[in-house]
């Protein structure tokens, strides 16, 4: 799930405990005018703040009878799993807006959340054969600005027969830009130079680049290899790249 923003929740003392527990897909935070305390989660959990300055995390739920939500039975066969969290304390240089119904994580919180949600897996090949059409990607170090996230980069299967798979010359590139709570202390730790397509792919191996809808079905713009990628805040942009 891609987090767009956070929603302010209020604890009501006159309702049962379960009425004050809310879903936490990726993160939650409490703050005052000086400090923000964020809990970043690697898996969906439940969250509540039943007392001032306290955050309660619910790892699991157990029901003795059906809750009329489609299960048809009580949830009594729970299993042990590994849950991962990060705790982040951040000093605040601006006064918290208590009137707003929504809020945004800081850029540092976004970066730590991405590390939990998208862990890196390194795959090494034992083959000594050199590929005939080797593609050198991401030639520039620190290619992405601090508020950009590479959601996906994959080849597209052009074969209409699902039983067969053949190598495709078309790639799908999906980028996301964070909407975040500005804080000068952290913003100075990241660069915000817009990425250029020629830093993604070798110019001599690209035939065409198209900006498309998220489903890749509708072409919106034709782009050049020297085009800067300007993704609006809190948006996803999709590009279809055809190799030579």
**Is 174 within 8 Å of 238 (Cβ atoms)?**
yes
Assess whether 73 and 175 both reside in one domain: no
Residue at which a domain ends, from 77, 102, 117: 117
Q: Which tokens is 87 given?
A: 């705790």
Instruction: Indicate if the pLDDT at residue 2 is higher than 50.
Output: no
Taking residues 38-43, report their average pLDDT. 94
More confident residue, 206 or 123: 206
Instruction: Indicate if the pLDDT at residue 45 is higher than 60.
Output: yes
Assess whether 174 and 230 both reside in one domain: yes
Lowest mean pLDDT among 14-18, 83-87, 132-136, 190-194: 132-136
Place of tokens 């959990």: 45
| Amino acid 163: pLDDT | 58
Instruction: Indicate if the pLDDT at residue 88 is higher than 90.
Output: yes
Count other Cβ atoms within 10 Å, centred on residue 233: 10
Give tens-digit pLDDT for 194-217.
Answer: 888 888 888 888 899 999 999 999
| Amino acid 71: pLDDT | 65
Does residue 183 sit within a domain?
Answer: yes
Assess whether 153 and 112 both reside in one domain: no
Assess whether 14 and 111 both reside in one domain: yes
**Is 23 within 8 Å of 46 (Cβ atoms)?**
yes
Q: Which tokens is 126 given?
A: 């034992």
Residue at which a domain ends, from 117, 136, 165: 117
**Local structure of 19: helix, strand or coil:** helix
Residue at which a domain ends, from 63, 96, 117: 117
Give tens-digit pLDDT for 141-194.
Answer: 778 888 999 999 988 876 666 556 666 788 999 999 998 887 666 667 788 888
| Amino acid 1: pLDDT | 38
| Amino acid 100: pLDDT | 84
| Amino acid 224: pLDDT | 92
Does residue 185 sit within a domain?
Answer: yes
Taking residues 217-233, report their average pLDDT. 92
Does residue 217 sit within a domain?
Answer: yes
Q: What is the mean pLDDT of the chain?
A: 84
The total number of structural domains in the chain stands at 2
More confident residue, 74 or 227: 227
Does residue 167 sit within a domain?
Answer: yes
Does residue 136 sit within a domain?
Answer: no
| Amino acid 184: pLDDT | 64
Residues 6+ apart with CB under 8 A from 224: 197, 209
Assess whether 105 and 198 both reside in one domain: no
CATH at 99 = 2.70.98.30
Assess whether 113 and 152 both reside in one domain: no
Instruction: Indicate if the pLDDT at residue 15 is higher than 60.
Output: yes
Does residue 130 sit within a domain?
Answer: no
Assess whether 28 and 98 both reside in one domain: yes
Residues pairing with 196 in the sheet: 228
Q: Domain range for residue 79?
A: 6-117
Assess whether 95 and 187 both reside in one domain: no
Backbone angles phi, psi at 50, to 5 degrees: -80, -20
| Amino acid 141: pLDDT | 76
Does residue 123 sit within a domain?
Answer: no
């Amino acid at each position: 799930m891609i987090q767009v923003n956070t929603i302010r929740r209020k604890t009501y003392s006159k309702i049962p405990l379960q009425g004050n527990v809310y879903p936490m897909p990726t993160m939650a935070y409490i703050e005052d005018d000086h400090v923000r305390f964020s809990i970043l989660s690697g898996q969906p959990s439940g969250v509540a703040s039943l007392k001032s300055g306290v955050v309660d995390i619910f790892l699991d739920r157990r029901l003795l009878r059906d809750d009329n939500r489609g299960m048809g039975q009580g949830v009594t066969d729970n299993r042990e799993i590994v849950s991962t969290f990060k705790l982040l304390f951040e000093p605040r240089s601006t006064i918290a807006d208590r009137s707003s119904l929504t809020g945004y994580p800081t850029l540092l919180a976004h970066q730590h959340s991405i590390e939990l949600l998208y862990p890196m897996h390194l795959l090494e090949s034992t083959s000594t054969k050199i590929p005939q059409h080797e593609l050198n990607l991401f030639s520039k170090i620190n290619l992405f600005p601090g508020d950009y996230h590479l959601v996906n980069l994959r080849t597209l299967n052009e074969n209409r027969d699902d039983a067969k798979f053949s190598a495709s010359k078309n790639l799908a590139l999906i980028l996301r830009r964070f909407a975040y709570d500005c804080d000068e202390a952290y913003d100075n730790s990241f660069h915000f130079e817009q990425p250029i397509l020629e830093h993604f792919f070798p110019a001599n191996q690209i035939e065409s680049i198209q900006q498309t809808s998220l489903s890749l079905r509708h072409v919106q713009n034709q782009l050049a290899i020297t085009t800067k990628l300007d993704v609006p805040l809190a948006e996803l942009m999709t590009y279809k790249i055809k190799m030579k």
